[in-house]
C-alpha cells in the first residue's frame, strides 16, 4: 500500500515552528548563560568573602589561580559543547512539522 502524500507546510505552520524553536533555544541560552555568569562572578566573590578558600595552596599555587588557569577553560568548552549539541537536538526534534501540536509549546 503506498504511503499517503504529505502536504507541504504553509507559512503559518512554518512561522509557528520557527517561534517554537526560537523559544526553546532562547531558554537554553538563558540557562547556559546563567551558569557562565555564576562562574564569572563567583570567583571574585569567593576571593572577596572567602579568602582562605581562594588562597588555599594546591601544588604551591592558590586555588583561585588553579581555577582561572586550568579549570575555567574546560568548563567553558563543556558549556559550549553542551549548548551546541542541545541546540541541534532542539532543531532535530522540531524538524518534523507534523508534530507541532504534540510538542506542547504554544506559539
Higher-confidence position of 97 and 70: 70
What local confidence, expressed as pLDDT, does residue 83 receive?
97
The 3-state DSSP class for residue 57 equals strand
What local confidence, expressed as pLDDT, does residue 104 receive?
46
- Residue 65 grid cell: 589561580
Runs of H (alpha helix) within 11-96: 11-49, 51-54, 63-66, 72-94
User: Domain ranges in the chain?
Assistant: 12-98
**CA-based Rg of the chain, rounded to a whole angstrom?**
22
Q: What are phi and psi of 70, to 5 degrees?
A: -125, -50
User: Between the CA atoms of 92, 94, 99 and 105, what dihedral angle is there, to the nearest 10 degrees?
Assistant: 140
Tell me the pLDDT tens digit for each residue of 21-51: 899 999 999 999 999 999 999 989 999 999 9
Amino acid at each position: 500500500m503506498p504511503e499517503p502524500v504529505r502536504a507541504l507546510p504553509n507559512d503559518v505552520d512554518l512561522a509557528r515552528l520557527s517561534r517554537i524553536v526560537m523559544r526553546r533555544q532562547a531558554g537554553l541560552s538563558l540557562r547556559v548563560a546563567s551558569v557562565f555568569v555564576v562562574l564569572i562572578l563567583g570567583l571574585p566573590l569567593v576571593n572577596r568573602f572567602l579568602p582562605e578558600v581562594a588562597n588555599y595552596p594546591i601544588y604551591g599555587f592558590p586555588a583561585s589561580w588553579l581555577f582561572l588557569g586550568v579549570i575555567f577553560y574546560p568548563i567553558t568548552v563543556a558549556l559550549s559543547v553542551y549548548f551546541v549539541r542541545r541546540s541541534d537536538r532542539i532543531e532535530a526534534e522540531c524538524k518534523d512539522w507534523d508534530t507541532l501540536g504534540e510538542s506542547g509549546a504554544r506559539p
